[in-house]
Amino acid sequence: MVTCETCGNEFPDGRAQCPFCGSHRQFRADNRTRPRTGRTVSLKEGLPTVEEALKRLRRELDVARSCPGGVVKFVHGYGSSGQGGAIRTAVRRALVGEQQHGRVKAWIPGEETVQRVDELASILKQVPRLREDLDTRRSNEGITWVLL
C-alpha cells in the first residue's frame, strides 16, 4: 500500500495516479506519519455486509487516529430502499458510541453539512484542503464526516 501525499488516502502500489484525488505527485510507502488531511473511505465498496462495513469503519478510525485532528469522509451510500440503508444506519449508530467514549470528537451526517456550518467551518480550518471537496458545499445523505 502507498499513501497519496495530496489527499492522504491509501491504495495498492503500482498505480501512477491516485484513484481518489487524481494526483500524479509522489506517493509515500511509509504510512507511519500521515499528513493532516481529509481521507475518503468507501465503506460500500465490494458490497459488504453490515458487519464487514463496521469492521472497516473501526479499522479506518484506528488508522486515522494516528494523526489527531484529522478528518475522514466515510462513503456508505444511502441505500436502495429510499429510506436509508442498513450500512448507513449502523455506521451512524457506531459513531454515536465512538463519540460517547471519546474516540471521535464529532461527526456530521452528510445531509446536515449545509445546516451545521459552524462545525464544518471548524473542520475546514483544521484541514483546508477539504474546501475543494464538493460535499462540503452540499447535502449528501450517502456520506458522514468524522472529526478525530
C-alpha cell at 53: 462495513
The pLDDT tens digits of the residues spanning 25-53 come to 555 554 444 444 578 899 988 889 999 99
Question: What pLDDT does residue 81 have?
Answer: 58
Residues lower than pLDDT 50 in the chain: 30-36
Pairwise CA distance, residues 117 & 146, whole Å:
15
Question: What pLDDT does residue 114 have?
Answer: 82
Question: What pLDDT does residue 75 have?
Answer: 92
Count of other CB atoms within 10 angstroms of residue 55: 13
Q: Parse the chain into domains and list their residue ranges.
A: 1-33, 36-147
Question: What pLDDT does residue 32 have?
Answer: 43
Taking domain 36-147, whether its CATH number is 3.30.56.10 is answered by no
pTM of the shown model: 0.69
Question: What pLDDT does residue 127 have?
Answer: 74
- The string of DSSP codes covering 41-71 is EESSTT---HHHHHHHHHHHHHHHTTSTT-E
Torsion of CA 3, 69, 49, 136, to 10 degrees: -90
Distances 43 to 49, 85, 102 between C-alpha atoms, Å: 10, 12, 22
For residue 91, the surrounding DSSP H or E stretch is helix 86-100
